[in-house]
């Protein structure tokens, strides 16, 4: 369901703004998009709603049939994929022209931006709100935009949240020229709790108190969408979800089979009678290890061989397929081996392309945000987190004897930044004193 800015203007002109807001919130919560958001978030938490529904209890006239696994084993593979991808881009934060411009965005900017990127990868979209001097995250679970029917731009939005069941809903309406707040209790009409005010206020303080002396807004709407990819959709694609569901289902059924299957079972040949006789014979064998009969009855033990290797092999192939579809390198595949730097670099090629797609989305968001903040900037750069064979890199650097020592130390991955600074400082002092 799409709520447009023109619908909002019409409701406002007709004096039906409160009714429009309630209709929008109800419609959004009941929409297919919102259900997908909740489902994707469940997968990110390590839950699997599809697995739980697949193994739901079957109720008959005689009662519930205990025929499905009691212990269900969802995996956390989707969370791993998102964490690897987002940290590859945001691990070192973003770099601007100079430090002063970066500090103007707030101390927690990189952390909030990383959280926004994570939610965008899970939900398909997330929103960044520039709140005077701080970036604030609006997740798609609590906010939806009002889209212009002609340009497709976001020109307003509604945020809604509640601290718990039975508590009133707080609904905030964001417009280009300010925001207002409403309160809503179940069964009650929407109540205006805070009059509309500008995003930036100039306040004068004196002995008599504080007074608002100026109202200011931004050059454009200060809530910006952030996407994780050019598809503008969640990283939990239909292909990945299907493989995750199959992986979890196989792991669950195989584990349940191991729990239910006895290592040894007994076959009694020539024994007739009630089931109680068979149970008594089995218990006697398990307790004493022997049993004797006067007739020709025989007891023969049998063992069960579960298809462990075939199952684990198929699960391993499924996991490879999940990471392959996600275009993310599984760290387990490069751990424990002696891969060269070239081999490691090649294994990360697909992930580099994937992260580059996310980087363009992040770059566009920061570019638009800087325009709102009023910062002129030319450089928006990310330093991707990488994995390498550090020892091989060190050995190669040592082959170049003509490189200055400070250059080698800067490029050598085995030297921490503190050592780099010490060496550079010593070289500088040596040059000034004439020793170098």
Instruction: Give 174's strand partners.
Output: 157, 179
Rg (C-alpha) for the chain, rounded Å, is 31
Please give the Cα distance from 60 to 24 (Å, whole number). Answer: 41
CA torsion sign, 421 to 423 to 426 to 430?
negative
Q: What would the pLDDT profile of 125-183 be if each residue is shown by its tens digit?
A: 999 999 988 999 999 999 999 999 999 999 999 999 998 888 899 999 999 999 999 99
Pairing relation of β-strands 143-147 and 298-303? unpaired
Q: Could you tell me which of 313, 303, 301 has the C-alpha nearest to residue 254?
A: 313
Would the pLDDT of 14 be above 50? yes
Q: What is the pTM of this model?
A: 0.78
Q: With pLDDT > 70 as the criterion, what percentage of the chain qualifies?
A: 68
Would you state the torsion angle of the CA atoms of residues 277, 282, 284, 290, taken in this order, to the nearest 10 degrees?
120
Please give the Cα distance from 74 to 227 (Å, whole number). Answer: 27
Least confident of 111-120, 193-202, 367-376, 420-429: 420-429
Please give the Cα distance from 264 to 260 (Å, whole number). Answer: 12
Confidence of residue 392 (pLDDT cuts 50, 70, 90): very low
HEC assignment per residue over the chain = CCCEHHHHHHHHHCCCHHHHHHHHHHHHHCCHHHHHHHHHHHHHCCCCHHHHHHCCCEEECCEEECCCCCCCCCCCHHHHHHHHHHHHHHCCCEECCCHHHHHCCCCCHHHHHHHHHHHHHHHCCEEEEEECCEEEEEECCCEEEEECCCCCCEEEEEEEECCCCCCCEEEEEEECCEEEEEEECCCCCCEEEEEEECCEEEEEEECCEEEEEEEECCCCCCEEEECCCCCCCCCCCHHHHHHHHHHHHHHHHHHHHHHHCCCEEEEEECCCCCHHHHHHHHHHHHHHCCCCCCCCCEEEEEECCCCHHHHHHHHHHHHHHHHHHHCCCCHHHCCCCCCCHHHHHHHCHHHHHHHHHHHHHHHHHHHHHHHHHCCCCCCCEECCCCCCCHHHHHHHHHHCCCCCHHHHHHHCCCCCHHHHHHHHHHHHHHHHHCCC
Please give the Cα distance from 330 to 45 (Å, whole number). Answer: 19
More confident: 115 or 202: 115
Question: Do 128 and 113 meet the contact criterion of CB atoms below 8 Å apart?
Answer: yes
| Residue given tokens 């707080």 in the structure block | 170
More confident: 352 or 336: 352
Least confident of 26-30, 81-85, 256-260: 256-260
Would the pLDDT of 353 be above 80? yes
Could you state, in order of their start, the residue ranges of all structural domains in the chain? 5-226
For 260, the token pair is 């239910």
Confidence of residue 243 (pLDDT cuts 50, 70, 90): very high
Confidence of residue 40 (pLDDT cuts 50, 70, 90): very high
Give CA 76 to chain center in angstroms.
Answer: 11
| Residue given tokens 């022209």 in the structure block | 97
Q: Could you tell me which of 397, 406, 403, 402 has the C-alpha nearest to residue 428?
A: 406
Confidence of residue 296 (pLDDT cuts 50, 70, 90): low
Would the pLDDT of 432 be above 70? no
Question: Do 98 and 340 meet the contact criterion of CB atoms below 8 Å apart?
Answer: no
């Amino acid at each position: 369901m799409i709520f447009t800015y023109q619908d909002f203007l019409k409701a406002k002109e007709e004096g039906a703004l409160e009714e429009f807001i309630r209709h929008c919130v109800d419609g959004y919560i009941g929409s297919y998009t919102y259900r997908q958001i909740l489902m994707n978030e469940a997968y990110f938490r390590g839950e699997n709603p599809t697995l739980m529904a697949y193994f739901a209890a079957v109720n008959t006239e005689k009662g519930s049939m205990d025929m499905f696994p009691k212990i269900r084993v969802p995996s956390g593979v989707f969370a791993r994929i998102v964490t690897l991808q987002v940290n590859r881009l945001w691990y070192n934060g973003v770099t601007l022209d100079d430090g002063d411009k970066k500090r103007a965005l707030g101390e927690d900017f990189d952390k909030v931006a990383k959280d926004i990127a994570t939610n965008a990868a899970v939900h398909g979209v997330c929103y960044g709100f520039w709140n005077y001097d701080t970036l604030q995250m609006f997740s798609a679970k609590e906010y939806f935009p009002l889209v212009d029917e002609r340009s497709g731009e976001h020109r307003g939005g509604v945020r809604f949240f509640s601290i718990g069941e039975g508590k009133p809903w707080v609904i905030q309406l964001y417009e280009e020229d300010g925001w207002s707040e409403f309160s809503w209790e179940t069964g009650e009409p929407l109540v205006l709790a805070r009059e509309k005010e500008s995003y930036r206020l100039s306040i004068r303080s004196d002995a008599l108190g504080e007074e608002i002396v100026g109202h200011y807004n931004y050059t454009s709407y200060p809530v910006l969408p952030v996407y994780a990819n050019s598809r503008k959709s969640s990283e939990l694609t239909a292909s990945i979800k299907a493989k995750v569901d199959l992986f979890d289902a196989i792991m669950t059924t195989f584990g349940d089979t191991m729990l239910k299957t006895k290592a040894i079972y007994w076959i009694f040949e020539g024994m007739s009678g009630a089931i109680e006789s068979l149970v008594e014979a089995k218990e006697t064998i398990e307790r004493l290890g022997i049993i004797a009969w006067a007739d020709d009855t025989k007891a023969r033990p049998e063992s069960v061989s579960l298809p462990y290797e075939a199952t684990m092999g198929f699960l391993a192939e499924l996991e490879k397929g999940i990471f392959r579809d996600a275009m993310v390198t599984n760290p387990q595949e490069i751990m424990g081996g002696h891969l060269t730097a070239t081999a490691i670099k090649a294994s990360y090629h697909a992930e580099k392309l994937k992260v580059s797609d996310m980087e363009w989305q992040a770059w566009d968001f920061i570019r638009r945000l800087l325009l709102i903040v009023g910062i002129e900037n030319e450089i928006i750069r990310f330093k991707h987190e990488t994995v390498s064979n550090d020892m091989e890199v060190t050995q190669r650097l040592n082959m170049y004897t003509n490189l200055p020592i400070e250059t080698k130390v800067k490029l050598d991955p085995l030297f921490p930044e503190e050592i780099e600074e010490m060496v550079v400082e010593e070289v500088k002092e040596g040059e000034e004193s004439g020793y170098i």
